[in-house]
Structure 1
Amino acid sequence: MTIGARVLKTGMAVALAVYLSTLLGFPSPIIAAVAAIFTIQPSISRSWQQITDQLQTNFLGAAVAITAVKLFGQTAIAVGLVCIIVILISIRLRMENTIGLTLVTVVAVMEANQEGWLFALQRFSMVLTGMGAAFAVNVLLFPPRPRKQFIEQVHQAYSQLSLLLRMAISNEMKEDIHRKETEKLHHTLLKLQERYAVFEEERALLPSRRQARARQLLLSKQLIKVLSQGVDLLDVVEEHYFSAPRAGEWAQRFDSQIEELTKYHEQLLLKLEGKMKAHVSIEPEEEREARLIKQLTDYLIEDPDEHKRLVFVASAIFEYGYHLRRLDRISDQVLQREEAETEEA
């Protein structure tokens, strides 16, 4: 078990919130600590958005809570009704992620309002203190690096995918191991898509960086697309190849084609890291694909219905190769543009 940066930052944010609560003379640090826990986010952009949303809904929730206490008093039914109203308002404003902390504010303010306005204001200040502590920690300590984390997860997903692809046709891996590795790959791909969503939310402040960021987003999207096509190829092989009659006759051809594309995939990742020599041709020969298509066409003429499952497998292989070549072209464009910008600077 590893302790991630977000786990550490949550603990630090809570500690800072408790310290500030003591420094400011709050009667209890609990509310500030809870606010800090709710505010920690995986990116600075999300943290800022969380702060702005929380300020709006918490201020609105505190106002509704104070008004409700004045009109209906502090009863259990009144607290429950106000919570329902605040939830509906938050959903209406499309700020569902702020509901938890807003309800904490509502309950704290309604419970304190019987002591007077100043006491209720103090409770609201506790919430603001926790939010501020969390934002400060998230920005200043171990600031999120979604791009770096995204690339690391791309390499992790490729390692899992290449292992499965290289043994897909030969079927040498034990079934239970294959199942576990496939589940791990799907989980990694899901995390990768979530990481891309975080990366996509980041905003470039300088106009010159916006174009570079747009290129990186296009490249990142294609990296995910290539991995997804590799996963689709695995699924197609499992579903159709082993059910096809006389599939063994095509084992070597399919296996060598997948091996070549897997190597191509690896070389593309190395090129993006700057580990490949300049102007080295790494694209597989298209003549091999053309030969495979002709051989498969001739084979299908014998009995189209019997051999059509092999078409599905070949189609998935060609689709994987198509998206790899597209990734190659996008990579060249991004790298060339980055080199040009470096020379201009």
Structure 2
Amino acid sequence: MEFNIGPRMVKTGLAVTLTLIITGMLGLNLELVAAIAAVLAMQPSIMRTFDYLKEVVISNSVGSVFAILGTLLLGNHPLSVGTVVIISIAINIKLGLHKTVSLTVLTIVTLMLANGDGISFLYIVQRLSLVTIGVLSALITNVLVFPPDHQKNLFRIIKKASEKTNFLLRVIPNETMNVPQMKEEDRQIEKLINDAKDYYEIISDERNSLIIKNKLSFLRNVIIYKHMIQVLIKKQTLIRELEKNIKELEAIQSHKAFLIKKLVKEINNYSENIVLLYENKIILDKDLQKETKAAMQVTINNLIEELQGSEFDKWTFVFPIANSIVELFFELDKLERLVRIKEAKESKE
């Protein structure tokens, strides 16, 4: 069993430590509340932490008002606390404040569980201070400790997924991998693509960050990463179509099977070259690349011509493969143009 301690786990622990130190120095009771607030407020990116902080201000204001009114009108009976929690959650969801529902509930329970002297102004300030200290500790820790390099992390995921898809596109047409191993590789690719999508959402949130040094370069990379993920999705579709129809593909006329295998090999090389071009590891001659793409287009046209007049049952398994190849080629062509634009722009800056 793997046991990995990532940066976010470390930052969460440090945020809790900082929270407990501050509450101890201020002599505040119920420091557990502040620690829980710190854990809930720890977000995967700095901008998400700022957004979370803004939501906390609004949602906790709503929760505080209802907690005070609920205590004054209904008392602090468990049924009263539960009723106020339900009403506050409903209002927060109506306002679109989904992320901070847990913290709002924590605030309400903390405020309504008053001592025998009831709710005083000092009591309210002390209880709200606990939540505030926890959230601010998470924000400070997220900004100062292990600030995440989302571009590097996202590209690492994309590259790993790309290498796996390239490997499968090499071995599947030759039928050199057993079915269980192919399915396992496919599951790993699916997970990596989902991870890349999740990370892309995080990096998209960073677009409005004020701490980005070269914002234009950052935005170009965001667009490129989006299309790289689309390429991965198209490659996975092609892989699945090949897995499903490879036996039937071998059974048809050898020339058609040869054209498809040739296309898969060429488009796979094309995909690898674009990633290497993005990393500045190779230089792709534009004219030579145009000839290569023109040759692939000719091969695609030849395949379509070869399929003319084929029986319907052959179309049912050949067409999905051919269609996946065409869609992947179209997406790769767009990606190459974007990478070249980025390369040209940054050479002038």
- What is the TM-score when the length of structure 2 is the normalising length? 0.90
What residue is the counterpart of 1:156 in the other structure? 160
Match of 2:174 in 1: 170
Match of 1:238 in 2: 243
Q: 2:198 is matched with which residue: 179, 186, 194?
A: 194
What is residue 223 of structure 1 aligned with on the other side?
Answer: 228
Alpha-carbon shift at residue 178 of structure 1 (Å): 1.0
Pick one of 255, 268, 282 that aligns with 2:261.
255
Aligned to 2:100, the other structure's residue is in SS state: helix
Whole-angstrom CA distance in 2 between matches of 1:190 and 1:229:
14
The residue aligned with 1:297 is 305
* Offset, 1:105: 0.8
Q: Does structure 1 residue 272 correspond to structure 2 residue 261?
A: no
* Contact in 1 for aligned 2:14/2:141 (Cα 8 Å): yes
Checking the alignment, whether the CA contact within 8 Å between 1:150 and 1:192 is kept in structure 2 is: yes
Q: Give, in angstroms, the shift of residue 237 of structure 1.
A: 1.7
Give the aligned CA root-mean-square deviation in angstroms: 2.2
1:326 to 326, 334, 342: 334
What SS does structure 1 have at the residue aligned with 2:113? helix
Deviations 1:181-212 (A, max 9, x none): 10110111011011111111111449995544
Cα distance in structure 2, aligned partners of 1:318 and 1:214: 28
- Is contact 2:59-2:104 (8 Å) kept? yes
Deviation of 1:160 after TM superposition, in Å, equals 1.6
Instruction: Determine the structure 1 residue equivalent to 2:60.
Output: 58
In structure 2, C-alpha distance between the alignment counterparts of 1:270 and 1:246, rounded to whole Å: 36
Q: 1:180 aligns to what?
A: 184
1:126–1:299 CA distance, 2 compared to 1 (3 A)? closer
- Residues 201-212 of structure 1 aligned to structure 2 (within 5 Å): 201-202=205-206, 203-205=208-210, 209-212=214-217
CA 1:136/1:149 → structure 2, altered by over 3 Å: closer, same or farther?
same
Q: Which AA in structure 2 matches 1:305?
A: F
Return the match for 2:142 from 138, 143, 151.
138
Amino acid at match of 1:190: N
The count of aligned residue pairs is 340
Amino acid at match of 1:109: L
CA distance in structure 1 between the partners assigned to 2:253 and 2:128 by the alignment: 71
Measured in 2, the distance between the counterparts of 1:255 and 1:248 equals: 13
Comparing 276-285 and 62-71, the one that deviates more: 276-285
Question: Residue 314 of structure 2 aligns with which residue?
Answer: 307
Offset of 1:238 from its aligned partner? 2.6
State, as a whole percentage, how many aligned pairs show the same letter. 26
Q: Which one-letter code corresponds to 1:228 in the other structure? A: I
Once residues 108 and 297 of structure 2 are traced to their aligned partners in structure 1, the CA distance between those partners, rounded to angstroms, is 65
Residues 233 and 316 in structure 1, CA contact (< 8 A), matched pair in contact too: yes
The answer on whether the counterparts of 1:112 and 1:120 sit within 8 Å (CA) in structure 2 is no
**Partner Cα separation in structure 1 for residue 7 and residue 66 of structure 2:** 36
The structure 2 residue matched to 1:41, chosen from 19, 31, 43, is: 43
Q: CA deviation at 1:289?
A: 3.8
Deviations 1:129-157, CA, capped at 9 Å, x for gaps: 00010000000111122211111111111
Contact preservation (8 Å) 2:250, 2:257: no
Q: Give the partner amino acid of 1:255.
A: K
Unaligned runs of 5+ in 2: none
Q: Which amino acid aligns with 1:134?
A: A
Q: CA–CA distance in 2 between the matches of 1:24 and 1:162?
A: 58
- Per-residue CA distance 1:290-331 (angstroms, 9 max, x = gap): 145325523533x33243132321221122122111111110
Change (3 A) 1:60 1:288: closer
What is the deviation of 1:114? 4.2
Amino acid at match of 2:153: Q
242-251 or 35-44: bigger deviation: 242-251
- 8 Å Cα contact 1:32/1:130 also seen in 2: yes
Asked whether the 8 Å contact 1:254–1:314 carries over to 2, the reply is yes
Give 1:82 shift: 0.4
Q: Match of 2:69, as an amino acid?
A: T
1:70 matched to which residue of 2? 72
* Alignment partners' CA distance in 1, 2:115 and 2:193: 49
1:42 counterpart SS class: coil
Aligned equivalents of 2:253, 2:185: Cα separation in 1? 24
Structure 1 gap segments, 5+ residues each: none
Cα distance change on mapping 1:52 and 1:86 into 2, 3 Å = same
